[in-house]
Amino acid sequence: MFNIGPLEIAVIAIVAIVVFGPDRLPEFARTAAQLLRQVRGMVSKAQTDLRDELGPEFADLDVRDLNPRSFVRKHLLDGIDDDFDDKPVSNSTDMMTPQRLPAGARAPFDPEAT
């Protein structure tokens, strides 16, 4: 979730010992753990209340789907790479290379394109 490695945890522990002191650190850790439990309980209760209020139609609602990034990734970009893997790439229709017209030929023109 936070993507914290062992080195970062060690640095945080050393800073906590220096800032709070070894005498007050256990009390601070207990208080932080209680706060974390309360926050998790509030989040769980909010999710349950949301599901209850929305009704049985939204029983399978995942709150993480409400994040715009995950919504776009899940509904718009899911499987987009699979569509292009099966099609061979053709070099004959490369749009970046200029095409020369034969001498005396007129350039293609679409009057409805304006």
pLDDT in tens, 56-98: 877 777 777 777 877 777 777 666 655 555 555 555 555 566 7
Is residue 23 classed exposed, middle or buried when 0-12, 13-18 and 19+ CB atoms within 10 A define those classes?
exposed
What pLDDT does 5 receive?
87
Q: How far is it, in rounded angstroms, from Cα 34 to Cα 36? A: 5
Q: How far is it, in rounded angstroms, from Cα 18 to Cα 68? A: 40
pTM above 0.75, yes or no: no
Q: How far is it, in rounded angstroms, from Cα 79 to Cα 60? A: 22
Give the pLDDT confidence of 2-42 residue by residue, as tens digits: 678 889 989 988 898 888 888 888 898 899 899 999 999 99
Q: Which amino acid is at 113?
A: A
* DSSP letter assigned to residue 105: P
